[in-house]
Amino acid sequence: MSTVPQIDLSRSDSVIALRREFHHYPESAWTEYRTTCRVVELLTALSIPVRYGAAIHSRPHMYGLPSPAEDAAALERARQAGCDGALLSAMAGGYTGCVAIIDGGHPGKTIAIRVDLDCNTLSESADDDRLPVREGFASCRDGFMHACGHDGHAAIGLRLAAELWERRQEIHGQVRIIFQPAEEGLGGGASLVEAGVLDGVEILLGSHISMGLTPVGTVAAGTHGFLASTKIDVLIHGRGAHAGVCPEEGRNALAAAAAAVTNLLAISRTGQGASRINIGSLIAKAGRNVIPPEAKLSLETRGATDEINRYMEDAALRVIDAAAAMYGCTAEHRIMGRGGCTGSSPELAARVAEILEQVPGVDKILPSFDFRASEDITTMMQRVRSQGGQATELIFGAAIAAPHHSERFDFDESVLPLAVRSLMTLVLSL
């Protein structure tokens, strides 16, 4: 990969350089080929054992895979960027992400740390008052942007791996650093879990930058308020026809989809807790004189509990089928991702809070943070807890330039070395 910057992971400033590199080359769910190759390359250069490819995935649980054409285009972009051909061949088909494995010098627990890799599908602001624009590391791909901090998370994981490898003789047990693909659509966690990546893990640590928590130096030791969520793609099948000559022979898929949207937003809420539904896109392409034969909807449901989300999901599918039938169409549903509502283990969060008091730069520690959104780590947390283990998600406070998932999103990069220092201290202490 001679075309990419030379970064020395042993340097403390490497975490910021890596974040900026990942930010410049964003890749969405299951197409994180360049990002994964870069991670594997840097880990291998340090002789850190790393697993990747089909061995860390369960194909039936890889939710939301791109089309074969999109996958081929992503692979070609990675080749053009200088990625190793053998690595790409091992990952082809969406098998992105990897797991670094560090065995300590003493017996002990198995600890996993999850960081994520994927970007959001929106175009980054080109306003020259933004740091990524001024410093030349804004997204090089129109329609794709790291707008949630996953570029920072990946950089944290790499720098942490280097630090822990250097001090591996001090570690009691094994550390697995999981570089997860496809977090944004809740698609990647289940694949890794079902492939056994979390088997035997006794402690799981996740972390996220900001989520509105500020400033740098404020850290939440645990998280609650995850919303269970289901991501759904719907294809409505109708029948095309001439809109003037023989409209009666058509079955208007767009009309069915529009009726579905209106009624999806009118689903009755439940008194059992918070619920959400959102339609992100409605696409139907036909000439103005053509009855649209197909329409596609992308939507999501959320709930404060798994039961509430299931209520919203069932109601949404019922509304879609009814709207399709009303116009003589049929509806095809495809689950693109799922996530639960598991919160942090109270005992582990309390222990994490105690350890964080030792970390220079941590000025304020919150026992728990209300996440108020969905996160794919919940699938991993549920698996670890089902095995008798404990899990928590830390939130590292940082000022942000705009809300998460906004085209102007950016964060205070000084949070990166603090996150590395905090996670390293936690691993060595736990």
Q: How far apart are CA 354 and CA 365, in angstroms?
A: 9
pLDDT in tens, 335-352: 999 888 888 999 999 999
Task: Please give the torsion angle defined by the CA atoms of residues 216, 371, 61 and 36, in that order, rounded to the nearest 10 degrees.
Answer: -10
Quote the CA–CA distance of 376 and 185 in Å, as a whole number.
8
**The token pair that represents 416 in the structure block:** 């990166």
Task: For the chain of 430 residues, list the mean pLDDT of each consecutive stretch of 10.
Answer: 65 91 97 97 96 97 93 97 95 98 97 98 96 97 97 98 96 97 93 97 98 97 93 97 95 98 95 94 95 97 94 97 98 92 94 97 97 92 96 98 97 97 96
Domain 14-224+342-429 is found in CATH 3.40.630.10: yes
Angle between helices 14-24 and 33-45 (to 10 degrees): 160
Could you tell me which residues come within 8 angstroms of residue 364 by beta carbon, excluding any fewer than 6 positions away? 217, 218, 219, 397
| pLDDT value, residue 206 | 97
* CATH 3.40.630.10, the chain: domain bounds: 14-224+342-429
Closest among 219, 313, 311 to 270, alpha carbons compared: 311
**Predicted local distance difference test score (pLDDT) of residue 4:** 62
User: Any bridge partners for residue 282, and if so which?
Assistant: 297
The two three-digit tokens of residue 264, written as one number = 């999806």
In the numeric block, which tokens belong to residue 154?
Answer: 């990946």
pLDDT in tens, 165-188: 999 999 999 999 999 999 998 989
Q: Which pLDDT value is given to residue 8?
A: 78
CATH code 3.30.70.360 region(s) in the chain: 228-339
Cα gap 35→83, rounded to integer Å: 9
Report the distance separating Cα 17 and Cα 174, nearest Å. 28
CATH no., domain 228-339: 3.30.70.360
